[in-house]
A and B are shown apart, each in its own frame.
Chain A
Amino acid sequence: MTQKLYELLPQIGGYIYPNEIEIHWGLLIVVYPYVTGIVAGAFILASLVKVFNVKEVEPLYRLSLLTALAFLLVAPLPLLSHLGHPLRSYEMFLTPQTSSAMAMFGFVYAWYLMVVLLVEIWFVYRKDLIIWAEEEKPPMRWIHRALSLFSRDVSEKALEFDAKALKFITIIGIPSAFLLHGYVGFIFGSIKANPWWSSVLMPIVFLFSAIVSGVAIVIFLYMIIIPLLGKTIDMECLDKAASFLFYAVIVDFSLELLDFIHRIYESEESIKILSELVMNKLFLSLVIMQVLLGMLVPLGIMVIIKVFDFKDELRKLLYFVTVILIQIGIFSTRWNVVIGGQMFSKSFRGLTTYKMDITGLEGLLYSLALLILPFVILAILLKILPAWGKSGEEALES
């Protein structure tokens, strides 16, 4: 490891404190808020259906819940892999330091997984699980029966209760999703030592970028999975979801712009080094990838779609390009926050650099694996809990 640091020595510009050469939070910590953001965003999309009764996006309901679950299961992995002593991580549950935002991660995570997501998914699928278990042969029959927790009541009254419970959980779920990702923003935003992070807007910006990335990835998955299943894409659903994405991007963009203008206008002590950071080290990832490709181009495309009456096929193509660009943009946002925040010295006199490993726990390959893992989990989840078809078919048709 120290060999790598020697290689970085010549790349330091200006003066940095000698302990600052090492970038302490690397690619893994970029992956962590990216993955968590998708969880929160996908859940918010799901809640559109149940709480706000947006019927058009009904076909995305189950998919977004399962997407949230798949990504949530992966969310702690980058954190654990990054710890110097992963085997001691249980200490955060046993002897949490109440003043530490990070210590709350376990509790926020457990709450979201156990109380919100799993319970909601169970109520959504309960009736189907019972019906599937009756129709199927082992081993799927056993799996579905076990997943239904051996409940067999599909009476009107029971289903009515399911619907009520669902509404209630979703209402709890929305603030929980806000808490989950707002909290991730707070981890960074509350560090007063770091002017790039320290901003009261940070949790809010994280939240809206989370909604953007979550909605975009569910649209992306829908556009890939539906043709693979030999079904047709519901254009009304796609237009509505894209419309929500458009508004979310506008809010996200406005918040980031506000943060930017505020920093420039206040022009505090750190402004010189932060300008240098943006213009040198982060030019590609911030100006080009995050703002131009990840935000302005998708916004432009979505405006064009709204203004002109394109045919379905062209619209699909443009939506597909948009959601991919948005993913690149949001990943760059996470990169610019996490890595960018460590590339300037707290002496405000110099910049260091980040050299990504290829192999190893902090390496590119491992992070790629972590980013692919949720899709594998989602594929398994969809196999066990189909989002469409069978009795889920009604959802698709409605």
Chain B
Amino acid sequence: MPRSGIEGQGSAEGRSRDPRGEISLLAVPLPAPAGGRIVNRRRFLKDLMTCVVSGGLFGGTLLKGVARASAIEAGKKPLYGFGVQVDKCIGCVRCVAACKNENNVPKEPFFFRTWVERYIIKQDGGTIVEAIGILPHQEAEVITEKNVLRSFNVPKLCNQCAHPPCVQVCPVGATFSTEDGVVLVNNKTCVGCRYCIQACPYGARYLHPETHTADKCTFCYHRIKKGLLPACVEVCPTQARLFGDLKSHASPLTRFKRMNKIHVLKPGLNTEPKVYYSSLDGEVR
């Protein structure tokens, strides 16, 4: 019996390449091992026919269902989103460092794909905001302000808007929205006019000093397409940053959206961000 072929189909490699192959393998029952149980050729052929016909019917019926399910699955492209749990951010800025390392962001303190803002709200109503740890190897200063009413840290990144003003204004279409909801920049066609930087309400874009093209957070697109998490999410020690598929019920992001009151930045501009904040303070812009 050609067992080896069937085993090959069911190998880990085959599974990861084609999830449908894995399911069909389960659906078609394996023929019973031959050996000494077969007394004669007629019996063998009869058994084989029964097996093939019943197995085919059973498997075929199942496969039909599987095929339908797969078609739905295939049509359901992911829509990536990002969650920020403001209350969990401790301002360690590991995310900022990880992002800079992962994405070749210049180390100088003027170029950021992500950063963390610290808000100090004082009792007299005054607000002090600073981007913490933006200088390399700089540790966040200890708060020396008196009469602090509340204080919190807010990670910021590209909001991957559903209506991105940056994409609207790009004269050559170098910046674009992918089907999975991420806004990317093609640095082979970007002319470096910086109109997108002007149009971004969140200050999330900068001009890369080496490529002279616009650059911004991509949700670490090269990582997420391999099933990995964005670098900033990966290193966050408190899970203040969450990433996932907005369409998937099982994604941590969906759970996050279900369990929290959600807010986005500058909702009045109708950009429809896909970075969702929980416990966001009204002071944050």
Residues of A bordering B, CB below 8 Å: 1-2, 5-6, 9, 15-22, 24-25, 79, 82-86, 88-89, 91-92, 95-97, 99-103, 105, 187, 190-194, 342, 345-349
B165 within 8 A of A: yes
Query: What 0/1 pattern do residues 136 to 176 of B give for CB contact below 8 A with A?
Result: 00000000000000000000100000000101111111000
Judge whether A102 and B169 touch: CB under 8 Å. Answer: yes
Report yes or no: A100 in contact with B192, Cβ–Cβ below 8 A: no
Known: A2-B110, A17-B131, A19-B111. Contact between A25 and B191, CB under 8 A?
Answer: no
- Determine if B130 and A97 form an interchain contact, defined as CB atoms under 8 angstroms apart: no
Residues of B within 8 A of A25 (CB): 194, 198
Report A-chain residues with C-beta under 8 Å of the C-beta of B110: 2, 5, 18-19, 21-22
Known contacts A95-B173, A101-B169, A103-B171; A19/B213 CB under 8 A: no
Measured CB to CB, the nearest residue on chain B to A99 is B168
A13 smallest CB distance to B (angstroms): 12
**Smallest CB-CB separation from B106: which chain A residue?**
A2
Given the contacts A1-B209, A24-B197, A97 and B173 also touching, CB distance less than 8 Å: yes
Q: Which residues of B lie under 8 Å from residue A102 when comparing CB positions?
A: 169, 171, 193, 195
Apart from A83-B193, A101-B169, 14 more pairs, CB < 8 Å: A1-B209, A2-B110, A79-B193, A84-B191, A84-B207, A84-B211, A92-B191, A97-B171, A97-B173, A191-B169, A192-B165, A345-B203, A347-B129, A349-B285
Contacts of A190 in B (CB 8 A): 169
Report which B residues bind A (CB closer than 8 A): 106, 108-112, 115, 117, 127-131, 134, 156, 165, 167-173, 189-195, 197-207, 209, 211-213, 269, 285
Least distance between A332 CB and chain B CB atoms (Å): 21
Q: Decide: A193 and B172 in contact? CB cutoff 8 A.
A: no
Instruction: From known contacts A83-B192, A85-B213, A192-B165, infer whether A24 and B285 are also in contact, taking CB-CB under 8 Å.
Output: no
Contact between B171 and A24, CB atoms less than 8 A apart: no
Cβ contacts under 8 Å, B205 to chain A: 19
Q: A2-B106, A88-B189, A347-B129 are known contacts. Are A191 and B172 too (CB-CB below 8 A)?
A: no
Q: Which of A2, A85, A86, A95 contacts B108 (CB 8 A)?
A: A2
* Distance from B89 Cβ to chain A, minimum over Cβ atoms (Å): 16
Q: In the docked arrangement, what's the CA distance between A95 and B201, Å?
A: 26
Most chain B CB neighbours (cut-off 10 Å) among A9, A15, A19, A96: A19
Q: Which chain B residues lie closer than 8 Å to A95 at the CB level?
A: 172-173, 189
Residues on the A chain within 8 Å of B131, using CB: 15, 17-18
A82 to B173, CA, bound (A): 19
B198 and A84 within 8 A (CB): no
Distance to closest chain B CB from A133 (angstroms) = 42
Looking across the interface, which residue of chain A has its beta carbon closest to that of B127?
A349
Q: What is the CB-to-nearest-CB distance from A304 to chain B, in angstroms, rounded to a whole number?
A: 42
- Return the 10 tightest CB-CB contacts between A and B, nearest first: A84-B192, A17-B203, A84-B212, A193-B201, A103-B171, A15-B129, A102-B171, A97-B173, A24-B194, A19-B206
A22: B residues at CB distance < 8 A: 110, 206-207
Q: Which residue of A lies closest to B213 (CB)?
A: A84
A348–B193 CB distance below 8 A: no
Distance in angstroms from B171 CB to nearest chain A CB is: 4
Q: How far is the CA of A233 from the CA of B235 in the complex (A)?
A: 76
> Closest residue of chain A to B165, judged by CB?
A193
Q: Which residue of B lies closest to A190 (CB)?
A: B169
In the assembly, what is the distance between CA of A6 and CA of B171, in Å?
31
